[in-house]
Structure 1
Amino acid sequence: MSAVIPSHPDTDWMAKGNVVGMDPPMHGRLRSLVSKAFTPRLVAGLEPRITELASGLLDAVADRDRFDLVEAVTHPLPVFVIAELLGVPLEDQPLFEKWGLDFILANGGGESALPSEENIAGFVRTAVEMRTYMLDQIALRRTAPRDDLITQLVLARTDEGQLDDDEIVGFVGTLLLAGHITTTAVLGSTVLCLDENPEAFAQVRRDRSLVPAAVEESVRLRPAFSRLVRMTTRESELGGVTIPAGQVLTLWTVAANRDPERFTSPDAFDLRRDQGRHLGFGQGVHFCMGAPLARLEGRIVLNLLLDRFSELSVATEDDAVAYHHPKNVVGPRRLLVDVARA
């Protein structure tokens, strides 16, 4: 997509590690190297720490019968987890929270499917700040390796070489964008879907083995990104329409996930459906590397909510729920919940 995205010398590093927006063979090289570091085993090993972090966030609202779930838990948790994964100091985690929000604004947002020159220009200060910070962290790992993802990215090797510093910084930026607001959206959407489907919610309470299915079905119904933007590399025909080479296309994931030719009763929240066929985490070579982490966080948070609260419902006031712009992110940016303790 680089041909149609405005460039700037202080933000060009973002494309070097953006595995999401890269074609083969460059994509294969980068993904292979990153996969050496960002392993399923590494993600699975985070479960105790994620549980500890989420429990601490819920402890902070332990005396309330109503609170904003986004503000209290689903917004801070993913950025804390990413910061922990990378190995950045605790006192620097607010920086990552700010950068994650800035990434969303720089990525277009609202009606726009692509970032504008204004979006890019507004992100320059953040880009310089983040790159400077991350280059310092990378230099520290080269002299004193640690047990964290930055070190693993520095050490990753294949027959095709290793990652350069800007590729590492670019991947961290992608991780922030793809792993922060998306997981926040998935966590909030799961609670909304269960609140809208009380019979399914009761089933999940009775049978915790359904928790992963509840998270997955929420991702199908409300994928964090409603659309993806791609460019044709050659002339193609689809549905009797000829699409020229170099054409920018908006692809609606949220519509694909409700395709009646693909899913029976596609608008229904069904815990028992075949859940391996939706596009909420992408498909093929671009299937989301962070899917195991998002699923793990969803499972942990939902189980903790069920453990702590015998009753959990979305508040009924008109302003109880506020959403992101649905053409940018599908999910709540405010979600007031009423709770009763178990």
Structure 2
Amino acid sequence: MDPPRHRQLRSLVTQAFSARTIAQLAPRIEEIASELLQPALAQGRLDVVTQLAIPLPIFVIADMLGFPRDNWQAIKQWTDSMLSDASLGEDDGPEDVEMALTQAQVIGMYEIMARTIDERRRHPRQDILSLLLAAEVDGRHLSDDELYAFFITLLVAGNITTTQLIGNAILCFDQYPAAWEQLRQDPSLVPGAIEEVLRCLPPNRGTGGDRSIIGGRMATSDVQLGDQLIRKGQVVRVTTISANFDEAQFPDPLRFDILRNPNRHLSFGHGIHFCLGAPLARLEAKVVLETMLRLMPDWQRATDVPLKQIRNNIVFGVQSLPIIV
């Protein structure tokens, strides 16, 4: 979406995702993180991805939107469906079966959204959904289709990035235990550590899949870029992760350094499409790492379960990450 429409719609929720507003969520996020980690303390084992990194951001964004939290597994299924378009295809079944499953999930999610929107129209609350229902653009309220699009974008995008960021952070600290020891000695280094995780192992690949425009831009006219002619209608994708290892910007770019400063990575994008949820993702990751430092500082990755990468062109991470606590 291009300006001015992009600016008009984004402005409706900009305040709700500002750094100042998001900072007020810290106590609630800490409470959720502690609740999710308590069972692991008793069991001595935690799957960082499935038991922590997936439910936590879904709970948070669902609360912000005013969406029933007990539907969090449906949100996860919806997210997976959205990302299936960019699957690398290694484990895919027949395409018609995959599409049928996706359509069923889409229908179910729209039914849940419709019920939630109808309930909020009758009983407004202090949440983003109520804000969107009351908002006007060019003198009119948002249509149901626009509300659904907003809902889907915020709900799905609001959990994908943080899930991978948390998992990738633990992957980094498993690979570079000296960095985790630095955090144990000085927890104030956590924010900088998160930025280095974002640079070295970003949650988003930013490339999209062969069947999707996600992660790319469509040319609105023929464009000559250097020696390459880009035809109108063609999709251009940029692998932003490569920019995070630019020697001109990052000295010794292959080194994982949580003290790196400045750290101008592009993992949240740049310009008018800079990730709206960046402050939220950073805060959620910060709270999780600080809580783990407090409750389970001596964790170790469980080596009895092999790591399995997510087969996807949009996000980068692992499907499961068990640790011993």
TM range (shorter): 0.7 to 0.9
Secondary structure at 2:319 match in 1: strand
How do 1:30-109 residues align onto structure 2 when only pairs under 5 Å count? 30-105=9-84, 107-109=85-87
Paired position in structure 2 for 1:135: 114
Aligned counterpart for 2:147 among listed residues 168, 176, 180: 168
Separation in 2, partners of 1:37, 1:305: 27
Contact kept? 1:230, 1:250, Cα under 8 Å: yes
Whether 2:312 is the aligned partner of 1:333: answer no
Return the offset for 1:160: 5.4
Letter in 2 for 1:25: P
Contact kept? 1:185, 1:330, Cα under 8 Å: yes
Return the offset for 1:311: 0.8
What does the per-residue CA deviation read over 1:100-144, in whole Å, with 9 as the maximum and x for residues that have no partner?
Answer: 222222x322269xxxx8566542222222222212222222222
Tell me whether 286-295 or 231-240 shows the greater mean CA deviation. Answer: 231-240
Separation in 2, partners of 1:40, 1:150: 19
Letter in 2 for 1:331: G
Separation in 2, partners of 1:258, 1:310: 30
Letter in 2 for 1:243: I
Letter in 2 for 1:322: K
- Judged with a 3 Å threshold, the aligned counterparts in structure 2 of structure 1 residues 231 and 120 are, in CA distance, closer, same or farther, namely farther
Letter in 2 for 1:48: P
Contact kept? 2:62, 2:155, Cα under 8 Å: no
Gaps of 5+ in 2: 208-214
- Judged with a 3 Å threshold, the aligned counterparts in structure 2 of structure 1 residues 37 and 156 are, in CA distance, closer, same or farther, namely farther
Letter in 2 for 1:31: R
Return the offset for 1:190: 0.7
Contact kept? 1:216, 1:275, Cα under 8 Å: no
Greater share of strand: 1
Paired position in structure 1 for 2:175: 196
Return the offset for 1:71: 1.9
- Judged with a 3 Å threshold, the aligned counterparts in structure 2 of structure 1 residues 81 and 103 are, in CA distance, closer, same or farther, namely same
Paired position in structure 1 for 2:3: 24
What does the per-residue CA deviation read over 1:309-339, in whole Å, with 9 as the maximum and x for residues that have no partner?
Answer: 231222334x342221253321121112122
TM-score by length of 2: 0.87
Whether 2:193 is the aligned partner of 1:206: answer no
CA RMSD of aligned residues (A): 2.4
Secondary structure at 1:249 match in 2: strand
Whether 2:298 is the aligned partner of 1:311: answer yes
Separation in 1, partners of 2:115, 2:20: 27
Separation in 2, partners of 1:28, 1:273: 33
Letter in 1 for 2:259: R
Gaps of 5+ in 1: 1-21
Contact kept? 2:222, 2:231, Cα under 8 Å: yes
Letter in 2 for 1:338: I
Paired position in structure 2 for 1:299: 286
Aligned residues: 313
Separation in 1, partners of 2:141, 2:244: 37
